[in-house]
C-alpha cells in the first residue's frame, strides 16, 4: 500500500455523516499533527460541509485558526467545518464527481486526503485513492473512523461510540433512580429511545446499569420484536422490583421488518406520523399492564453530549486523527487506523491499521453472544467489552454555567476552478 | 409563628411529588443538621414513598444510615426514601388522614415535620401545623421548597430548577452545534421538548444559548401558540442562520387551551396517542417549510441529570434543608425557608423565610417582561435572572465510567399502630 512521495503537499480534511461528541477531537489530532510536520505538509484545507466542500471547491484554510482554537476542538462537540449526508455514487455511475475531486486536489496541490466518517465515507476514501492513481495525481487517502453506531469492522470500537454509550448508561441510571422513587403511586415504567438503526451497540450500553441494581429490558435491532415476550418480561420486572426501565433502539422492528417507530401512527389529517419507538412501546405497556409510564427520546442530545463524554473515547478519537497523519507521512494509502484491543481489564489497546478495501461497506452488528438468550439484555462478555469504553470523564471548560465550545473562523480559500453543479 | 418547646422530640422528613437532581441534597442538609442537634432532635424518621409512609406508618429509621451515606445523598439524584403523587384532600373533606398523621407522630414522638416538595406539599405542610395544634400535639411543620417548575411564590428560585435549566441550556447548545454542522444537506430544525405544564421557566433556559450565536425559538405555556407566526419565525431563522433550534414546553397550547402534545394524533387502532409536543411541532415545520428535522423529548432525563447539576442549585438545596431544621429549632412553625436574591452580578442571596399561608396554592409564572414582545424568546432581564442559577459544576464521583449514586438501606421502624387504609 505504501507509495513513494517526496514533495511537500497540502492536505484535505473533511467530516462526513452524522457528527459526534468527539469528531472534532479527531480533527484536532489531524491538525495538530500536520502542524508538527510543516516540512512535508503545507496547509490543511478543510471541506466546508464535508465532501461537498471539496466538490464545490469550498475549502477552509485551517492555517488561519489559532493553536488555541485547534486545541479547543478537542472538547467541542459537532463538526467544526460542517458535515454532510452526501454519498458519492459508484465510480462507474458517477465518474464525474471523483474526477472533480482530483481536479480540486490538483488545483490546490493536495496530496493527502483525510476523511473522517463511517462506512460510506470509508468507501469514498477508498475510491479516491484508486481514481487518483488512475488519473496520475496520486493522493494518499486515509480514513479516520467515526460513528456513534460502532458498526465499522476490524477496529475494536469507533470514536463517538464510547461517549454515546456513557451518555446512555448515565442517563438511564439517573432516570431509573427517578422512576424507582416514583413507582409506589406513579410512574412504573420508563422508556428511553436511543440511536442505532441497524446495530444495537448504543442500546446495549443501557445494560451496564443492571449492575447498579436497575431492572432493565433492552430492545435490539438484532432481535425481532416479540410483543408477548416483551410484555411478560416487563411484567416480571415490575412485579419483582416495583419498576422497570426499557431502552429501545430506534431500529427495533417486528419480525416482518417493520419498525416499531412506524407502528401506523396517524396525525389528525391521517398522515403517517414520524414518531419514535419509545411512545409506541410505552403505550403498549400501558395497554397490556396498565402501568403509568414516562418516555424520552434522546436523539441528537446523545451524540452531541460532549459534557459527559468518555475520556477513553476522547483520547482515542484524538489518537486516531493523529495516527492518520503519521500513516500518510509513512507512505500508507487507502488505510484506516484502528483500535486493537489487547486486554479488557486492565484495558489496554494499540493503534493498528486496516486496508480500506476490507472496511468499506461492511457493517458490524452485536455478536449473538453479547445478547442474553432471551434477547432482552447483555451478557457479561458484552459488559467486559463496554466497560472500558465509557471509562473516565473529560469535562469541557465552563464559563457562566455553559461549556466553552469553539466556533472557528472558517476562512474560505480563494477558488481557482469553474463552478461545479452537484 | 414561634411556639415554645423544650422536650427532645423525633423528626419526620418526607419527599413529595416529582423528584429532582437535588432533592436529596436537601435531605442531606436536613439530616446532617439534625444530627448536629442530638440534644433536641432524637431520630429523624423518613416517610417511605413520601407522605404515604406517614399515613401507613411506614417509617424509615435514618439513624441506621452512615454519615458517609448521608453525605453521598448530596450528589445523588432522585428521592432516596421514595416520593409519591398523593395530595391530601382539604381538612373538611378528609379530616381522617390529617388525624392519622398526628396519631403516627404522637406514637413515634415526632415533634418536627419537614416536608420537601412543591406547592401542593406546602399546602399539606400548612394544614399539618394547623391540625396538630387543634389536636393538642403541636408539631413544628417546616416546608423545604423543591420543584423543577420553579413556580413557588416568594422564594427567588426553587431547588431543582437551576439544574434542569443548566441541563436544558447545555443540551440545547450541544444539539444546536450538531444541527449547525448538518444543516447544509440534512437537518435544519431541531426541536427539544422540555418540562413545564403551566410555567415556562424551564423552556426559558433554552434562551440562554442565544448569546452563543444560536438561533432559537421558544414556545412558552404562558403564550398561546400561533402557528402562522411560529412558522414565519422559524422560516426567518433558517433563512438567516441556515438552521434553527426550537425549545417547546410540554405545556405549550393553542389559544383554545388544547395542548400541542394532544394534536389529535391517533395510533393504528384510532386511539388517541399520548405523544409529545416536539414531534407535533417538528412535523408542522416540515409540512410548512419542508425542512428536515430532528426532535428530542428529554422527559425524566432533564430532572434526574445530577451529572450536569448546577453548583448553585446543589448548594441552595442543601442550605434550605439545613435552614429548615434551624428554623424549627428556633421555634418557627408553618414556614418555608426561601432564597432572597440581593444582586444578579455578582450573584448574592440570603436565606429568608415565608409563612406557608402565603405559599400554598400560589403558582408563579414567567413575568411578561421576561418574554420578548414576539413571544418567542427571553429578554435580557430574564437572562440576568437565569444566569447565576445555572452557574458552577458540581460533579458526582465516578467509578468505572458511571456516577457513584447512593442507595440507602432504608431500614423500617417497627409499627405501633393499627393499619390504615389509604
Q: Residue A275: what pLDDT?
A: 64
Closest Cβ opposite residue A300 in set B213, B294, B393: B294
Beta-carbon count within 10 A of B301 CB: 26
Q: Residue A73: what pLDDT?
A: 98
CA A129 to chain centre: 23
pLDDT digits (tens, 9 = 90+) for B15-51: 999 999 999 999 999 999 999 999 999 999 999 999 9
What integer is the mean pLDDT of A35-63? Answer: 97
Query: How close is the nearest chain A Cα to the Cα of B406, in Å?
Result: 10
Q: With an 8 Å Cβ cutoff, are B297 and A295 in contact?
A: yes
The answer on pLDDT for A2 being more than 80 is no
Report the range out of A80-84, A90-94, A131-135 with the highest average pLDDT: A80-84
User: All 3 cell numbers of residue A332?
Assistant: 500508507
What integer is the mean pLDDT of B365-393? Answer: 98
- Cell numbers 399492564 correspond to what residue? A289
pLDDT digits (tens, 9 = 90+) for A110-129: 999 999 999 999 999 999 99
Catalytic pick from B58, B103, B149, B313? B149
Q: Which residues contact B21 (CB under 8 A, 6 or more apart)?
A: A174, B77, B160, B163, B164, B167, B303, B304, B305, B306, B309, B313
User: All 3 cell numbers of residue A361?
Assistant: 461497506
For residue B186, give the chain A residue with the closest CA. Answer: A85
CB pairs under 8 A between A and B: 259
User: In angstroms, rounded to a whole number, what is the distance separating the alpha carbons of residues B114 and A153?
Assistant: 57
Q: Which residues pair with A245 in a beta bridge?
A: A190, A216
In a mutational test of the A interface, the residue from B174, B291, B309 whose CB has the highest number of chain A CBs within 10 Å is B174
Peptide bond into B242 cis (omega under 30): no
The 3-class SS string of A165-197 reads HHHHHHHHHHHHHHHHHHCCCCCCEEEEEECCC
For residue A271, give the chain B residue with the closest CA. Answer: B265
Q: With an 8 Å Cβ cutoff, are B185 and A308 in contact?
A: no
The answer on pLDDT for A33 being more than 80 is yes
Quick check: is A313 catalytic? no
Provide the CB-side half-sphere exposure for B159 (13 A, CA): 35
User: In angstroms, rounded to a whole number, what is the distance separating the alpha carbons of residues A155 and B4?
Assistant: 72
For residue B210, give the chain A residue with the closest CA. Answer: A402
Confidence bin at A4 (pLDDT 50/70/90)? very low
Query: How close is the nearest chain A Cα to the Cα of B16, in Å?
Result: 9
The answer on pLDDT for B353 being more than 70 is yes
Percent of chain A with pLDDT over 70: 95
State if pTM tops 0.95: yes
Q: Are B200 and B218 in contact (CB under 8 A)?
A: yes
The answer on pLDDT for B272 being more than 70 is no
Q: Residue B3: what pLDDT?
A: 46
| DSSP label at residue A282 | H
Instruction: Write out chain A residues lying below 8 Å of B398, CB-based.
Output: 392-393
Q: Is the ipTM of this complex over 0.90?
A: yes
Instruction: Write out chain B residues lying below 8 Å of A182, CB-based.
Output: 18-19, 79, 83-85
Query: How close is the nearest chain A Cα to the Cα of B202, in Å?
Result: 15
Largest Cα span, chain A:
73
Amino acid at each position: 500500500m505504501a507509495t513513494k512521495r517526496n514533495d511537500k503537499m497540502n492536505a484535505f480534511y473533511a467530516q462526513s455523516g452524522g457528527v459526534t461528541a468527539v469528531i472534532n477531537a479527531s480533527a484536532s489530532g489531524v491538525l495538530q499533527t500536520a502542524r508538527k510536520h510543516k516540512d512535508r505538509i503545507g496547509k490543511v484545507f478543510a471541506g466546508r460541509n464535508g465532501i461537498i466542500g471539496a466538490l464545490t471547491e469550498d475549502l477552509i484554510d485551517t492555517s488561519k485558526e489559532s493553536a488555541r482554537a485547534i486545541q479547543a476542538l478537542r472538547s467541542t462537540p459537532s463538526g467544526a467545518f460542517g458535515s454532510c449526508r452526501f454519498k458519492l455514487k459508484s465510480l462507474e455511475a458517477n465518474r464525474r464527481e471523483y474526477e472533480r475531486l482530483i481536479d480540486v486536489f490538483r488545483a490546490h496541490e493536495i496530496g493527502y486526503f483525510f476523511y473522517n466518517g463511517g462506512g460510506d465515507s470509508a468507501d469514498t476514501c477508498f475510491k479516491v485513492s484508486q481514481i487518483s492513481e488512475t488519473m496520475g495525481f496520486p493522493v494518499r487517502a486515509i480514513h479516520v473512523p467515526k460513528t456513534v453506531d460502532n458498526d465499522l469492522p476490524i477496529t475494536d470500537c469507533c470514536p463517538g461510540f464510547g461517549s454515546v454509550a456513557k451518555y446512555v448508561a448515565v442517563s438511564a441510571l439517573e432516570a431509573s433512580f427517578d422512576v424507582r422513587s416514583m413507582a409506589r403511586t406513579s410512574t412504573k415504567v420508563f422508556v428511553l429511545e436511543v440511536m442505532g438503526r441497524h446495530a444495537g451497540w448504543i442500546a446495549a450500553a443501557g445494560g451496564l446499569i443492571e449492575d447498579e441494581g436497575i431492572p432493565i429490558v433492552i430492545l435490539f435491532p438484532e432481535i425481532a420484536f416479540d410483543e408477548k415476550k416483551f410484555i411478560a418480561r416487563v411484567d416480571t420486572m415490575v412485579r419483582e422490583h416495583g419498576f422497570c426501565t426499557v431502552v429501545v433502539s430506534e431500529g427495533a422492528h417486528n419480525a416482518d421488518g417493520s419498525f416499531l417507530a412506524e407502528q401506523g401512527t396517524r396525525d389528525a389529517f391521517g398522515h403517517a406520523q414520524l414518531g419514535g419507538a419509545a411512545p409506541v412501546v410505552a403505550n403498549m405497556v400501558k395497554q397490556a399492564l396498565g402501568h403509568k409510564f414516562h418516555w424520552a427520546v434522546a436523539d441528537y442530545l446523545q451524540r452531541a453530549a460532549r459534557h459527559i463524554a468518555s475520556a477513553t473515547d476522547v483520547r482515542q478519537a484524538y489518537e486516531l486523527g493523529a495516527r492518520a497523519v503519521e500513516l500518510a507521512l509513512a507512505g500508507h494509502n487507502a488505510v484506516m487506523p484502528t483500535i486493537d484491543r489487547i486486554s479488557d481489564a486492565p484495558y489496554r489497546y494499540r493503534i493498528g491499521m486496516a486496508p480500506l478495501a476490507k472496511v468499506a461497506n461492511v457493517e458490524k452488528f452485536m455478536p449473538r453472544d453479547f445478547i442474553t438468550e432471551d434477547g432482552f439484555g447483555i451478557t457479561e462478555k458484552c459488559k467486559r467489552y463496554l466497560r472500558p469504553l465509557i471509562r473516565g470523564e473529560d469535562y469541557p471548560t465552563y464559563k457562566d454555567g455553559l461549556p466553552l465550545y469553539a466556533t472557528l473562523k472558517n476562512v474560505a480559500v480563494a477558488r481557482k476552478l469553474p463552478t461545479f453543479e452537484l
